């Protein structure tokens, strides 16, 4: 399905639906339907077990006030997939309207999904809301992260004005494992009771009990204290707070490389696009 639905004079509602299934001994992308400016590149298969690496594309390059992006991914029983993006997502300055992105990931019993997008950048004066909901069934496995950069530190742009709301949820068989909601505004970025001037936040979520991974992940930055690791009931959470989006991704990638063999039973194979 190809098309685009206008929300306002200069706003768009875009949707993308992906479905991955196990066929003939390999995981295959069976559906990639879209409406509006959301696409994928053809899947890559760099791993010996045939796990597809899927790159999400948003041709406009950024989201403006009034835009709405909806992404749904379903991985059927016995299949596996890794989803990433070739570039950072951007929420631009708003004209007063809110921009939204809603991602829903459904993973069947015995399936595995990795959700590893590059960072989201919220420009000063952006008004945006982002929601990620992961729905797991039975023994489904999930590894994923969300990286948020408030402002553009590399350009000396501080997020003094604007608002970004972030919601993260992980459910298994209808039971919530993690539900959290963050609301970030300019005053909270600088305040000592808020982010204390640290504009970059990263959260890695691993569905499952992996207590043996806690100490190796902590050792990634043992002397700097940039990562916090918590093994909760049914989900391991790794958090970053700092000033550098590239550093955040490097550290969370290091945590992913530790977790992947333990959770998915295979070594980490980084998407090719990360090297460019």
* DSSP codes of every residue in 153-177: GGGTEE--S-EEEEEEEEEETTEEE
Both structure tokens of 88:
């950072």
- Asked if residue 6 is part of any domain, the answer here is no
- How many Å is the maximal CA-CA distance in the chain? 56
Neighbours of 115 (CB within 10 A): 21
Domain count for the chain, please give it.
1
* Domain enclosing residue 96, as ranges: 13-275
- Asked if residue 5 is part of any domain, the answer here is no
Q: Give 155: exposed, middle or buried? Use CB within 10 Å, 0-12, 13-18, 19+.
A: exposed
Q: Over the stretch 172-182, which tens digit does the pLDDT of each residue have?
A: 999 999 999 99
User: Which DSSP string do the residues of 253-269 spell out, in sequence order?
Assistant: HHHHHHHHHHHHSS---
pLDDT of residue 79: 97
Helix (H) or strand (E) holding 81: strand 80-84
- C-alpha 252/C-alpha 238 separation (Å) is 8
Q: Over the stretch 99-116, which tens digit does the pLDDT of each residue have?
A: 999 999 999 999 999 999
- Asked if residue 195 is part of any domain, the answer here is yes
- C-alpha 261/C-alpha 184 separation (Å) is 34
The parts of the chain modelled with pLDDT lower than 50 are 1-9
Q: Nearest-CA neighbor of 274 among 256, 250, 242? A: 250
* Conformational region of residue 43, where left means phi above 0, alpha means psi within -120 to 50, and beta covers everything else: beta
pLDDT of residue 157: 80
pTM, two decimals, is 0.92
Contacts of 178 (CB under 8 A, 6+ apart): 168, 169, 170, 205, 232, 235, 237
- C-alpha 90/C-alpha 10 separation (Å) is 16
- Asked if residue 176 is part of any domain, the answer here is yes
- Sign of the CA dihedral 114, 117, 119, 120? negative
- C-alpha 116/C-alpha 259 separation (Å) is 13
- C-alpha 3/C-alpha 34 separation (Å) is 8
Antiparallel, parallel or unpaired: β 39-40 and 11-23 = unpaired
- Asked if residue 7 is part of any domain, the answer here is no
pLDDT of residue 224: 67
- Asked if residue 234 is part of any domain, the answer here is yes
- Asked if residue 152 is part of any domain, the answer here is yes
φ, ψ of residue 99 to 5 degrees: the values are -100, 145
- Asked if residue 35 is part of any domain, the answer here is yes
pLDDT of residue 208: 84
Both structure tokens of 42:
């053809």
């Amino acid at each position: 399905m190809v098309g685009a639905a206008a929300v306002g004079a200069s706003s768009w509602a875009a949707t993308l639906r992906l479905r991955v299934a196990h066929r003939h001994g390999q995981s295959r992308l069976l559906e990639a339907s879209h409406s509006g400016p959301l696409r994928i590149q053809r899947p890559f298969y760099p791993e010996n077990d045939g796990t597809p690496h899927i790159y999400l594309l948003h041709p406009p390059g950024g989201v403006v006030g009034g835009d709405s992006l909806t992404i749904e991914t379903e991985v059927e029983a016995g299949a596996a997939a890794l989803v990433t993006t070739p570039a950072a997502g951007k929420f631009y300055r708003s004209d007063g309207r809110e921009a939204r992105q809603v991602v829903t990931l459904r993973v069947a019993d015995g399936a595995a999904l990795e959700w590893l997008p590059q960072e989201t950048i919220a420009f000063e004066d952006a008004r945006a809301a982002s929601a990620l909901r992961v729905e797991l069934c039975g023994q489904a496995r999930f590894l994923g992260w969300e990286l948020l950069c408030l402002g553009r530190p590399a350009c000396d742009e501080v997020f003094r004005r604007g608002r970004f709301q972030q919601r993260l949820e992980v459910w298994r068989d209808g039971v919530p494992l993690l539900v959290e909601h963050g609301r970030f505004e300019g005053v909270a970025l600088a305040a000592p009771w808020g982010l204390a001037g640290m504009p970059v936040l990263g959260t890695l979520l691993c569905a499952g009990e992996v207590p043996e991974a806690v100490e190796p992940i902590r050792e990634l930055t043992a002397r700097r204290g940039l990562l916090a690791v918590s093994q909760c009931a049914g989900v391991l959470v790794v958090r970053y707070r700092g000033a550098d989006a590239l550093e955040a991704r490097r550290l969370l990638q290091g945590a992913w490389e530790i977790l992947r063999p333990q959770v998915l039973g295979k070594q980490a194979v980084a998407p090719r696009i990360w090297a460019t």
